[in-house]
Each structure stands twice: as C-alpha cells, then as structure tokens.
C-alpha cells in the first residue's frame, strides 16, 4: 500500500469514526415545556392548548422528528399554571429546576400568569413563546420571551375603529357612546388604559359606562344594570373565563340586552370556546364579537379538519391554534439551531423569518420577532357568533363570513 493510499484509508477511518460519534451524540428526544392552566377557572382554555400542542407533537414526530438532530423526537412536558400568578410562578420554578434539559417552552394563557412565570423562565435563559396579550410581557427588556399575539394596546387601537366601521356601514350612523366592563387582569387593565387615554378620543367615542371587577365574578347584576341605565350603542365586555362570560350573558339576556338588542364585544379565545354554547344558548350568543390574536382561516382548513376529527371538538379555535403553532415554531428554531441547546434556540427565534409552516396559523402569514420579542406585523382578528358557532369576520383574508350588526341598535 502506498503512502497516499494509507493516508486516504486513515482519513476515511477517522471521518467514519467522527460521523458515528456525532450520530451517537444526537439526542433521542428533545424536551419542550407547556405551562398552562390545567386546573381552576381557566382549565378549559388550558385543555384546548394541550389538544393543539399534542397534535403538533404527533405531526412533527410522524414527519421524522427534528431532522437537524438526526430525527430526534419532540417531547412535550406539561405543567399546570393553576389559577393565580403565585401558582404559575411556583410551577415555573419547579419546571426549570427539575428539567434542566428543556430547550424551550410556551404558555401561560392568561397575561397575569404569564408575567409571573416569565420572570422565572427569563432567569433560567429558557426561550419562551406566549399568546398572552399584555404589553408588559415584552416590555420589560427580557431577551428570551417572544410574543406571537398582537399586544393589548395594539388590539385596543385596532378593535374600536373596526367595530365603529362595521356599525356605521350597517346602520348608516356612526356610534358615539359605548360601554366598558371587564375584569382587572393584566391584559384587560392595559387594554382599558389605552382606551381611556388614547383610543376613545381618537375615535370620537364616549364611555358612558366604565366598570372593572376582580374575577371570578359572583353576580353580574350591578354591572349590567349600569349598562342598561347608560344606554350605550355597543359594549366592550372583557371577561377572561367562561363562567364569567355565562354570568354576564345571562344577565344581559335577563334585561333584554342580548342578541339583537345590544352589540357586545369581547376579547380573548374563551369567547370562542365550545362550552360557551353549552352553558348559554345560540340565541344569547348570536352577534357576540371578540377581538382575538388568531383564528383558523382559509390557509389552514386542512389542519382544522384533522383537529376536529382527532379531538371531536366542534372547531379548531384560538387556544388550540396558538399552541399548535408554538410547537411548530420551536421545532423550526431547533432545525435552524441544529443543536438541542436553549441558547441556540433563543438565537434562532430572534433571527427567524418564517413565511410558511406555522406562519400560516397567523393572519399576515409571517413569524418574525422584533427587538422586544414581539411578532412583526401582527393583525387583529375579529370573530363573531353566528348561528351557534364562532366564525372569523375580520381581516378579509381569513374571514369565512361577513360581520353582522343589529340594524336598530344604534340610537
């Protein structure tokens, strides 16, 4: 054997050994975390997130896992955020302490819970995705938190002009009086503060009712009486859980203000939760609108159909879509990073610009984050209950129905 041949053989042996070592070092599984309410008043929303996340995990693993990591399987670690910021923070502390191999995660549904939990995940340098709305979440200078939703202030600034336009086109008269009732959770506080200081004046609107309460609500009588006495042309109703939704809607119906009598505008995925129909009625819900961060549109009809077939849920809604997309975004970050390392995943999230895959789950079709960790070019979605089901009515590119407005509501 010549010297050159011997050198080539040695080089081939070394390369083969290096390749085998690299394959052996690839993880068999990669763990990501989901921290959402699985008990308490927001447990139903947490369950809907869980269903969406589990479908995404199965889709990714059936498609070959994380290919940049040799086909490593993605594993979802599930944690209960409970019903309070303290419980969410405690759960986050246990999560990071007991699972040092986590490479990323998502949650916590409610903004108050997310604000508490991300104090922990940020200290642990764990990249975290959230669909929660509060501007404070990505307004604290954190570098590992990424917000896929339009923020509360953004939604406040976009929702009212859209609602006013819908009302004006339907009635021929621009509304001037509105009501505001809601709970004092973090996102709603930010939303109402923006309305009071900026958005009402900018839209020539006066709030004839402005009431906030601490959830859970035990009796909606006083709130709804004030609305009835003030006679607004529409009312923003920002509760954050289905039991409070039911109490409010029941009381509005009792006073003859539901359905075609008074347009109600909610906010958040719980307004589109299937059980809202089971605890109220299609008649009470008819016309109820809500501003939300996302809703399945035309681009993901195939995913919506598979979700319904898999889970037997009646539709693929806000919470499930968000969790499904978050798992895929983390998978994309792992593919881009090429290593199961949370620092590299964070860097991948900072630099990614997706126009396909999970980007289809958001109106605008793009997943890119700015320097604060907020999704670039977010869009507000408006859903509305029509004939016993919530449908997207705005923006036009995802809308599956036209918005309806009671013809005789504006006075």
What pTM value is reported for the model?
Answer: 0.87
**Residue 45 and residue 80: Cα distance in Å, rounded?**
12
Kindly report which listed range (84-88, 162-166, 333-337, 397-401) carries the lowest average pLDDT score. 397-401
Q: Could you say which DSSP state residue 150 is in?
A: P
The per-residue pLDDT for range 173-221, each reduced to its tens digit, is 999 999 999 999 988 998 899 999 999 999 999 999 999 999 999 999 9
Q: What is the mean pLDDT of residues 152-156?
A: 89
**Residue 364 and residue 375: Cα distance in Å, rounded?**
11
Superfamily for the 25-150+297-361 domain: Response regulator (3.40.50.2300)
Q: Report the pLDDT value the prediction gives residue 25, as an integer from 0 to 100.
A: 59
Q: What percent of the chain has pLDDT over 70?
A: 92
Domain boundaries, the chain: 25-150+297-361, 153-292+381-394
The CATH architecture that domain 153-292+381-394 belongs to is: 3-Layer(aba) Sandwich (3.40)
Q: Report the pLDDT value the prediction gives residue 23, as an integer from 0 to 100.
A: 46
Q: What is the mean pLDDT of residues 7-35?
A: 61
Q: Report the pLDDT value the prediction gives residue 27, as an integer from 0 to 100.
A: 85
Distances (CA, A) of 250 to 272, 345, 370: 17, 46, 42
Indicate left, alpha or beta for 234 from its phi (over 0: left) and psi (-120 to 50: alpha). beta
| Average pLDDT, rounded, for the chain | 91
The model's confidence at residue 260, banded by pLDDT at 50, 70 and 90, is low
């Amino acid at each position: 054997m010549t010297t050159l041949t011997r050198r080539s053989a040695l080089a081939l042996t070394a390369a083969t050994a290096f390749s085998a070592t690299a394959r052996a070092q690839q993880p068999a599984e990669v763990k990501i975390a989901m921290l959402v309410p699985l008990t308490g008043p927001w447990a139903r929303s947490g369950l809907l997130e869980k269903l969406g996340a589990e479908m995404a995990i199965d889709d990714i693993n059936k498609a070959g896992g994380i290919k940049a990591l040799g086909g490593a399987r993605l594993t979802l670690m599930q944690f209960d955020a409970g019903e309070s910021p303290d419980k969410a923070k405690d759960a986050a502390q246990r999560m990071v302490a007991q699972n040092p191999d986590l490479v990323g995660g998502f949650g916590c549904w409610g903004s108050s819970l997310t604000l508490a939990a991300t104090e922990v995940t940020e200290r642990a340098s764990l990249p975290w995705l959230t669909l929660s709305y509060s501007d404070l979440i990505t307004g604290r200078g954190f570098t590992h938190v990424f917000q896929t939703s339009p923020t509360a202030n953004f939604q406040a600034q976009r929702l009212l002009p859209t609602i006013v336009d819908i009302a004006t086109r339907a009635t021929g008269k621009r509304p001037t009086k509105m009501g505001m009732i809601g709970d004092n959770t973090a996102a709603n506080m930010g939303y109402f503060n923006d309305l009071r200081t900026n958005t009402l004046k900018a839209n020539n609107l006066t709030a004839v009712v402005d009431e906030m309460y601490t959830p859970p609500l035990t009796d909606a009588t006083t709130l709804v009486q004030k609305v009835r006495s003030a006679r607004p042309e529409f009312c923003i109703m920002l509760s954050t859980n289905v039991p409070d939704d039911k109490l409010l809607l029941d009381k509005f119906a009792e006073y003859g203000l539901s359905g075609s009598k008074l347009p109600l505008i909610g906010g958040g995925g719980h307004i589109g939760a299937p059980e809202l129909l089971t605890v109220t009625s299609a008649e009470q819900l008819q016309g109820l609108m809500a501003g939300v961060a996302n809703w399945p549109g035309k681009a993901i009809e195939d995913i919506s159909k598979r979700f319904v077939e898999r889970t037997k849920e009646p539709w693929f809604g806000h919470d499930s879509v968000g969790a499904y997309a978050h798992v895929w975004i983390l998978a994309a970050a792992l593919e881009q990073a090429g290593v199961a390392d949370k620092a590299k995943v964070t860097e991948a999230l900072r630099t990614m610009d997706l126009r396909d895959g999970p980007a289809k789950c958001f109106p605008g079709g793009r997943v890119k984050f700015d320097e604060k960790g907020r999704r670039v070019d977010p869009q507000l979605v408006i859903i509305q209950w029509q004939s016993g089901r919530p449908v997207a009515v705005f923006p036009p590119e995802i809308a599956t129905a036209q918005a309806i407005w009671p013809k005789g509501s504006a006075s």
